[in-house]
Amino acid sequence: MRVIYECVAGIDVHKKTVVACRMRVTEAKRVEWETKTFGTMTADLLGLHDWLNEWEVKQVALESTADYWKPVFNIVEEGFEVILVNAQHVKKVPGRKTDATDAEWLAELMLHGLLRASFIPPKPQRTLRELTRYRTTLVRERGRVVNRVEKLLESTNIKLSSVVTDVMGVSAKAMLTELAAGATDPQALAKLAKGRLRNKMKELEAALTGTVAEHQRFILAQQLGHIDFLDEQIENLSQQISRHLEQMARPLAEDDEDDGAGPTATEPDQPLRWNAAVELLDTIPGVDQRTAEVILAEIGLDMSQFPTADDLASWAGFAPGNHQSGGKRYSGRTTKGNRPIGAALNQAAWAASRTKDTFLEARYHRLAARRGKKRAIVALGRSMLVSIWHMLSRQEPYQDLGADYYDQRRKETKVAYLTKQLTRLGFAVQLDPLPVPA
From 11-20, 113-122, 322-331, the region with the lowest mean pLDDT: 322-331
Cα angle 416, 421, 427 (rounded to 5 degrees) comes to 105
Average pLDDT over residues 57-77: 88
Position 220 scores a pLDDT of 95
Average pLDDT over residues 216-223: 95
Res. 436: pLDDT tops 80: no
Q: Which of 231, 260, 232, 235 is nearest to 246 (CA)?
A: 260
The CATH number given to 125-246 is: 1.10.287
Res. 253: pLDDT tops 50: no
Q: Which of 228, 223, 389 is nearest to 316 (CA)?
A: 389
From 54-63, 97-106, 348-357, the region with the lowest mean pLDDT: 97-106
Instruction: List all residues 6 or more positions away from 192 whose beta carbon is below 8 Å from its beta carbon.
Output: 171, 174, 175, 178
Res. 267: pLDDT tops 80: no
Element (H, E) at 431: none
Average pLDDT over residues 358-365: 93
Position 438 scores a pLDDT of 61
The mean pLDDT of the chain is: 87
To the nearest 10 degrees (0 to 180), the angle between helices 289-299 and 274-281 is 120
In this structure, the dihedral spanned by the alpha carbons of residues 298, 299, 300 and 303, taken in order and rounded to 10 degrees, is 180
Res. 258: pLDDT tops 50: no
Same fold, 7-111 and 125-246: no
φ/ψ of 397, rounded to 5, equals -70, 170
Instruction: List all residues 6 or more positions away from 207 whose beta carbon is below 8 Å from its beta carbon.
Output: 158, 159, 160, 162, 163
Position 229 scores a pLDDT of 97
- pLDDT digit string, tens, across residues 365-394: 999 999 999 999 999 999 999 999 999 999
Average pLDDT over residues 181-198: 90
Fold of 7-111: Nucleotidyltransferase; domain 5 (3.30.420)
**83, 61 Cβ separation under 8 angstroms:** yes
Predicted confidence band of residue 100 (pLDDT cuts 50, 70, 90): confident
Strands in 153-242 per DSSP E: none
**227, 132 Cβ separation under 8 angstroms:** no
Res. 71: pLDDT tops 50: yes
3-class state of residue 3 by DSSP? coil
CA distance 212 to 224: 16
Phi-psi region of 108 (alpha: psi -120 to 50; beta: other; left: phi over 0): alpha
Position 384 scores a pLDDT of 95
Q: Which of 106, 129, 223 is nearest to 176 (CA)?
A: 223
- pLDDT digit string, tens, across residues 269-285: 577 889 999 999 999 99
**286, 349 Cβ separation under 8 angstroms:** yes
Across 20-24, 25-29, 83-87, 222-226, the highest mean pLDDT is recorded for 222-226
CA distance 280 to 35: 50
Predicted confidence band of residue 251 (pLDDT cuts 50, 70, 90): low
Domain ranges across the chain:
7-111, 125-246, 266-322+333-438
DSSP 399: -
* DSSP secondary structure letters along 275-317: HHHHHHHTTSTT--HHHHHHHHHHH-S-GGGSSSHHHHHHHHT
Instruction: List all residues 6 or more positions away from 123 whose beta carbon is below 8 Å from its beta carbon.
Output: none
Average pLDDT over residues 203-226: 93
Position 102 scores a pLDDT of 85
Res. 339: pLDDT tops 60: yes
Q: How far is CA 195 from CA 21, 168, 172, 177, in A?
A: 69, 15, 12, 19
3-state SS, one letter per residue, for 307-337: CCHHHHHHHHCCCECCCEECCEECCCCECCC
* DSSP secondary structure letters along 71-114: HHHHHHTTTSEEEEEEGGGGPPPSSS--HHHHHHHHHHHHHTT-
CA distance 409 to 363: 13
Q: Which of 43, 57, 28, 31 is nearest to 20 (CA)?
A: 57
408 versus 130: the higher-pLDDT residue is 130
* Burial (0-12, 13-18, 19+ Cβ within 10 Å), 377: buried
DSSP 126: H
Q: How many CA atoms lie within 13 A of 68 on its CB side?
A: 16
Residue type, 160: L
pTM of the model: 0.83
Q: Which of 309, 310, 313, 331 is nearest to 322 (CA)?
A: 331
